[in-house]
Structure formats: structure tokens, C-alpha cells
Amino acid sequence: MKEAVEMLVLPIKTLLGHYIYDANRNEILAVSKDLFNYISEVQAGEVCPDSYKTDQEFQLLQSCGYCCDSPLQDVAYPSIDLLKVKLERNLRMITLQLTQSCNFRCDYCIYSENSLYNRTHSHNSMSVSTAKHAIEFFKMHSIDNPNPVVAFYGGEPLLRFSEIKLITQYAEQVFEGKHISFRITTNCSLLSEDMV
């Protein structure tokens, strides 16, 4: 049993004949049944019982640039090694969905009852305890970030303004010495001068 050959070739059998798709050349090529079987066996690492004639055809294809070994050695995002460090030490922002309730029911809202694919408004809410745990997680994973951001989202997060105050105070304590900032996604209908 031979070792399987890694070439970017896909054997394709149809009612009209036998073909190979060569990804290196981005071409589909009609081939004989024998050559089709031989290429399939070469890829699988099997020995072809009567391969002399077909082997010559195969070598002719290779001399024309077909059925060559894959030039790919590794497929990876160039910064993949940095991703682990970024996720473990350099998170930039955390978004807390304090509530799924809203004081409006706008038809155009992605969370309206008209939405086919998203959640709809509900009475689900995040406890202050869960929010504090999330802030602590964010702190542990943003060690290298001098400017952490805590964002509030909903529904309408201002429905839980007293909780926002507690969470922002807690976050300021946890991130003491860093330049923490806060963001909110709101319809502003509940915003008052006291809140600002």
C-alpha cells in the first residue's frame, strides 16, 4: 500500500464521461476511465493493478502541469497566534444586555414581532450579580487594555437605570487606574437630566 498523494484534484464521474477538476490550474479536464481510476487510486494510496499504460498518461498530465502535489503547506489566518493573546489579555469592550424589554414596539425594530429570525421582546433581564461577574471576567481578560469599555444594550436598557448605576459604580471600582468608558444603546425616551 502506497502513501496517499495530496494533490488538489477532484475526480468527477458523470453519465457523459470521466473528468478531473484540477484546483491548481482551475480547469476541468476529460480523462479516460483508466486514468480516472488511476488518479482515484493514487489519491487513496492504493496500488493500481495494471497501471503501466495509465501511469504514463498520468506522468504526461503532470508534465503539462496537471495533478501536481498541492503547493499548500498550511491554511491559517496570519494573525491566529495573536488571537489567543487578544482574547485572554486584551478584550476591548463588553456589552451587557440588561433587559429584553422595551417601552416601544417599533415595527422596524429587529426584535419586533415582525422579525422572522431574531428573538422578540421579552421580560428576560440580567441580574446585577451576573453583570458583576461579567465585569470581573472582562477585567481578567483585558489586562493589557488601558481603555476598557462597558456597553449597555437591550431592549431598552434605561428601563433598568438603577441597575446601570450600580453596575457602572462597580465597574469603576474594578477598573480603578484605567480609563474606563461607558456606552449605551437607547431610544432616549426615558432619558432625563438627572440621568445625564
Q: What is the pLDDT of residues 124-180, one digit of tens each?
A: 999 999 999 999 999 999 999 999 999 999 999 999 999 999 999 999 999 999 999
Q: Which pLDDT belongs to residue 96?
A: 98
Q: Are residues 94 and 177 in the same domain?
A: yes
The answer to the question of residue 133 being in a domain is yes
The answer to the question of residue 176 being in a domain is yes
pTM for the whole thing? 0.63
Q: Are residues 55 and 106 in the same domain?
A: no
Q: Are residues 151 and 96 in the same domain?
A: yes
Q: Which pLDDT belongs to residue 50?
A: 52
Which residues in the chain land under pLDDT 70? 1-6, 47-54
The answer to the question of residue 73 being in a domain is no
The answer to the question of residue 75 being in a domain is no
Which domain range does residue 166 map to? 80-184
Per-residue 3-state assignment (H helix, E strand, C coil) for 128-140? HHHHHHHHHHHHH
Q: Which pLDDT belongs to residue 138?
A: 98
121 CB neighbour count, 10 Å cutoff: 20
Number of domains the chain is built from? 2
Q: Which pLDDT belongs to residue 47?
A: 61
Rg (CA), the chain: 30
Q: Which pLDDT belongs to residue 71?
A: 76
Is the sign of the CA dihedral 161, 118, 129, 89 positive or negative?
negative
| Nearest-angstrom CA–CA distance, 27 and 66 | 9
The answer to the question of residue 70 being in a domain is no
